Chain A
């Protein structure tokens, strides 16, 4: 059922743009003209403060569980601003709606939560307000380098980082102890651990992976790959570069050898497997502890965190997940919207976000001894933030997402997913993903080399 729905959604992400373009073009503009004129207002840093003083009303689309508390705190601090919080859907559901209202020319919120991977898809066609005009580039030093890079598309600044997800290795130390497995420091050791574990207990797997685009891109990122390069209309796609091949060389052993479980992530089965030891590790983002504490209660005291295994033993990791908040060009009060974004991710808003279990992108919080040294009861008292903040420092530089990453992710299952299903060479899947992305990009008016 779930995958069926996802299929429908993918259809839309793909189809919405095309159909919408055709219909809007046929209607000859109409109300869609407003959207362009609304965003061209140039502002300044003063305009933001003035707008905050003047007050007004904003609509904010977000699905983060912290949103309500943040909005309440903001309105308490600035009673003359009214923020209407709308949960318009999670991830792709929201993007589908956002794309539709952008094409339709009306109905967009002032501020919307956008994941880093989705940002270029909205920023490059000019749907978002460039926050450079409000002088927000001065906040660069407040954020980690990797998240600061993630809120840029070209030279434009389209949000301030809300959270970050430097990857670490979450492992079930009880399972590791039971089968005498040492915590792997390299990917070779990880593969060896996978074999040892599965041989000792055929029901247990080192991890689960049924083919997830976000995980794949993060892993290629960690391996030093830069398969996507964008320069305006010119896009280069090379999913066979050194980094991509480095990752497939490791991960092929796990997939073709049947050493990773095919339980899809975020299902009830997956939550269950995390609790009962069926899945022994998770290489994932630093935001995972909050999820485990609230939703994998059976795993309390069993899990621990270690740095990501690497190819050469030197620290290196990648980002996985994370969002920003962007101001839409349709906003009638972009300066006030920008002020709200600044408050959410630079001022008090960050504290509210952290209080509900988020992992910060702000360097001050990442260095705060109280945050770094905090022991986690769930993880048996381990000071997990020592590991996780360390990960934030060792994110490999130079990564960019495709300007149509959402579409790319939506066809991942039809291409790379086939390699997972047949337990065959992932490179074959990556090649067919690349071919599909090159031809789609060219159809969309990009100059794609692949």
Chain B
């Protein structure tokens, strides 16, 4: 007899999952293997096996030192944009989402409509108008040109709104008020704890989107020493094109590998919270 915890295996499903596994793993394997090759080996040996040489550490060293170590500068920029931008976006989305879910006030429905509209507009479409606005403010070519737009996360706000509506029982807030806690104190001591799975989810989304943001920095910034990794690596990759081309594919690949490492670490560290968030409330 099959118990609910040990379900019968389906060959079809297993096959599909194996294919899916390959689909997700193969590019990663290719990236790892390619990062061990020199530029010449990259162009002359098969993609899914080692080359004649093992240049992994030399590549890492070259990536970190090429052009006076600009890669480290880009990494630092990306971290700054993610910590301040995505961190700030999470904080704002949490506070606003909580407020909208837990307080009744005029214009709530209007905010909801605007919010749904904002989720539907892709950031790419807003980039050029944002550029012109920031240019008038004299903020282009500064870190603020990236951080300020990153602070706005309509999707995060929506997520926190929906999450707060369910995760914070009104009785608990009433109890806190009766005990004499002010609204701010209630938010920080009672609500935040209950919201933490939602916050982590929002943080992960905001982090990934800021980390991968390409288009906004591309048009906002023209000084290479302000670039995030995405734009910087594309510049390295474009170096292989046209008159006077100087391809450095080995550094682009090693750089790409190094770029995903912090994201992987963030996911591993935050995974616990995220998982508990996904299953929260499923069993009562």
Contacts and interface: CB of A to CB of B under 8 A. Distances in A.
Interface in B85-107: none
Interface stretch (B129-137, B153-161, B180-188, B272-280): B129-137
Contact of A103 (B40, B132, B239): B132
Interface string A288-299: 001100110110
Nearest to A269: B43
Given A271-B43, A297-B40, A100 B246 contact: no
A294 B243 contact: no
Given A298-B40, A298-B43, A165 B132 contact: no
B65 interface: no
A413 interface: no
Interface stretch (A17-25, A46-54, A231-239): A17-25
Given A23-B129, A298-B43, A356 B223 contact: no
A61 B244 CA distance: 16
B243 A165 contact: yes
Interface stretch (B49-57, B164-172, B211-219): B211-219
Contact of A104 (B42, B131, B218, B239): B131
21 contacts: A2-B237, A5-B214, A5-B234, A8-B215, A12-B215, A15-B128, A24-B132, A27-B136, A30-B136, A31-B136, A88-B224, A89-B218, A89-B238, A90-B238, A90-B239, A100-B135, A101-B222, A104-B136, A268-B42, A291-B244, A358-B243
Contact of A64 (B40, B124, B129, B243): B243
A275 B244 contact: no
Which of A88, A266, A276 is most buried by chain B, counting CB atoms within 10 A of its CB? A266
Interface string B235-248: 10111111111110
A294 B128 contact: no
A285 interface: yes
Given A90-B239, A271-B43, A295-B240, A12 B128 contact: yes
A321 to B, nearest CB: 5
B226 to A, nearest CB: 11
Interface in A282-341: 285, 287, 290-291, 294-295, 297-298, 321-323
Nearest to B128: A19
B44 interface: yes
B126 to A, nearest CB: 10
Given A12-B128, A96-B218, A276-B44, A287 B243 contact: yes
B244 A65 contact: yes
Contacts of A364: none
Interface of A: 2, 5, 8, 11-12, 15-16, 19-20, 23-24, 27, 30-31, 61, 63-66, 86-91, 93, 96-97, 100-101, 103-107, 163, 165, 266-268, 271-272, 275-276, 285, 287, 290-291, 294-295, 297-298, 321-323, 356-358
Contacts of A31: 136
Interface string B3-44: 000000000000000000000000000000000000010111
A1 to B, nearest CB: 9
A364 to B, nearest CB: 21
B59 interface: no
B133 to A, nearest CB: 8
A93 B214 CA distance: 12
B241 A266 contact: yes
B43 A97 contact: no
B249 interface: yes
B141 interface: yes
Given A16-B128, A100-B128, A106-B135, A294 B246 contact: yes
A356 B218 CA distance: 28
B132 A97 contact: no
Contact of A65 (B44, B246, B249): B246
B244 A66 contact: yes
A65 B129 CA distance: 32
